[in-house]
Amino acid sequence: MLPRIISSRFLSPAALLAAQGCSPPITAAAKAAQIYFPNSRMTSSSWAGAGKSQDELMLKDECILVDEHDNIRGHANKHSCHRFVPEQPQGQLHRAFSVFLFDESNRLLIQQRAKDKITFPSVWTNTCCSHPLFGQQPEEVDKPEQVADATVPGIKHAAVRKLQHELGIPPQQLPLSSFRFLTRLHYCAADTHTWGPQAEWGEHEVDYVLFIRAPVTLAPNPEEVDGVRYVTPKELQEMMHPSSGLLWSPWFRIIAEKWLQTWWADLEGVLKGGHQDLGTVHHIL
């Protein structure tokens, strides 16, 4: 039997808590910037996305462009990165992250993306999926040595920012030291379900996978999230069976089919630093 949906559109935060059981040429300016943009002017002192529409965020937020080996190439807004059009049929490859948050019973928190999302609306996915951004304070652009030693403070700061924005989780409940960076995957997926076989929107990302276990309070943002659930491995397997009729994000399906079962079965080991593959970008195209 599938677990009951906890919909952020119909439950107050208090009730919800109670119910919880290849790219075009980069611009000359981008080429001129140093690899971590040390000479580039910061575009903002902090993220100011709260209350903005999906369209506004698409134009405002600056993603970090990378090559297939995760080397930084520049930055571009989300609209440009996610457009699959003749001049850039696979959008622009950029950094992303996927958070898998577990409760104290080792249940995974998953979400259903809002129906008004531009890419992959209404699909189920992991706890939070988004992008580190250029021009933020705290800094969200990680250096190679920060990836190599698994600290990735920029990715973690971005994760905390979006967990608050999408799910209303207070930052103090998400200490950076509690996140574990496991690996990266490079994938590309046009959103043909929403936009048809000639879809002009999609994702092309180097995705950083983060695990965290923490007791959190939830107040989902209906602009971002239609529903949330905590699930066991068995419940997730039932939800992902074709007979359920549920849609899933391509990045979550890749992670679920390739790694999640092993990682989840040894969650204690993962949280102690096990199962890390820091030097590999897994190309799953």
**205 catalytic per annotation:** yes
Per the CB < 8 A criterion, the answer to whether 57 and 166 are in contact is no
**128 catalytic per annotation:** no
Per the CB < 8 A criterion, the answer to whether 217 and 169 are in contact is yes
Question: Residue 8: which of 225, 171, 204 has the closest Cα?
Answer: 225
From the candidates 129, 139, 166, 203, give the one annotated as an active-site residue: 129
Triad 77, 24, 64: Cα angle to 5°:
35
From the candidates 62, 139, 203, 205, give the one annotated as an active-site residue: 205
Query: What residues act catalytically?
Result: 129, 205
